[in-house]
A and B are shown apart, each in its own frame.
Chain A
Amino acid sequence: MVPLSYYLVLSGILFACGVTGFLIKRNIISIFLSIELMLNGVNLSFVAFAAQWKALSGQVFVFFVMVVAAAEAAVGLAIIIAVYRTRETLNVDQVNLLKL
């Protein structure tokens, strides 16, 4: 028997790691991976609360979060390819102009 709070703490740790990576990483792909990590942390708390409140809706919401994350990954990676094509760099410090 594991208390719900353990799951919440694990989900919080994952989310905090995602936020830290988002802030300290300089490679645009690594920043994107950190966002995925944050989404995963949130999904864990959704499933844990679903088990706590005996409501399957939480798991359906995880499904929706995954769909939105997949769509976001497709569009985001296309944007990364477009950025790389025009600027020849993946470092976010060098991507500081909206228009070339």
Chain B
Amino acid sequence: MLHLTLFSIFGLICVAGAINLLVQRHPINSALSLVVVMGSLAAEYLLLGAEFVAAIQVIVYAGAVMVLFIFVIMLLNAGEEERTRGSRVAVLFGVPGMLIGSLLVAWVLVEHSGTQAVAPGALPGPPKTIGWLLFHDYLLPFEITSVLVLIAIMGAVVLASPPQSIQQKREG
């Protein structure tokens, strides 16, 4: 019962943050509501027993990635976005269609999927076990992601550095 209560509380915070992300017009407000979503998702991971994932969710996602986002928003001095009016067909057919479709999917998932209840902390994911898996069974993917991150760093530096003409102007 306590598990369900905690799940509902953090799930509601999560959905509220996601909807706030859509409603807010200033990117910095959207970014901060995404931090709320990520924090409550970390709590959901803890409820599932995934301690390692919850920790890196907070450290990497809510910490590093969001700081990068907020840096860029402030660097570019992004203002409020202009609203454009969508097509009327999309509102007439898209919104009811999406509602019906998602309700159908939710109904099938809840009533007819035959899934069992997940106990709190059902599958403890201690960092030791995850690390063993990562450096034993998944060693090759791990090494490939390290190459990917290296390429991403170099790509980011190349893309974000000012173009040649501006550099020459600064030097000369």
A95 within 8 A of B: no
| Interface range on chain B (Cβ under 8 Å from partner) | 35 or more
Q: How many residues of A contact B (CB 8 A)?
A: 66
Q: Report yes or no: A70 in contact with B65, Cβ–Cβ below 8 A.
A: yes
Helix, strand, loop or mixed for chain A's interface?
helix
Chain A residues with Cβ below 8 Å from B11 are 6, 10
Chain A residues with Cβ below 8 Å from B89 are none
- A residues bordering B, Cβ < 8 Å? 1-10, 12-14, 16-18, 20-21, 24-27, 29-30, 32-34, 36-37, 40, 43-44, 47-48, 50-52, 54, 56-57, 59-60, 62-64, 66-75, 77-82, 84-85, 90-91, 93
Q: List 23 A-B contacts (CB under 8 A).
A: A1-B4, A1-B118, A2-B3, A3-B118, A8-B113, A17-B18, A20-B22, A37-B18, A47-B48, A48-B48, A54-B123, A56-B133, A59-B130, A60-B130, A60-B133, A60-B134, A73-B65, A74-B152, A74-B156, A77-B156, A77-B160, A81-B76, A91-B81
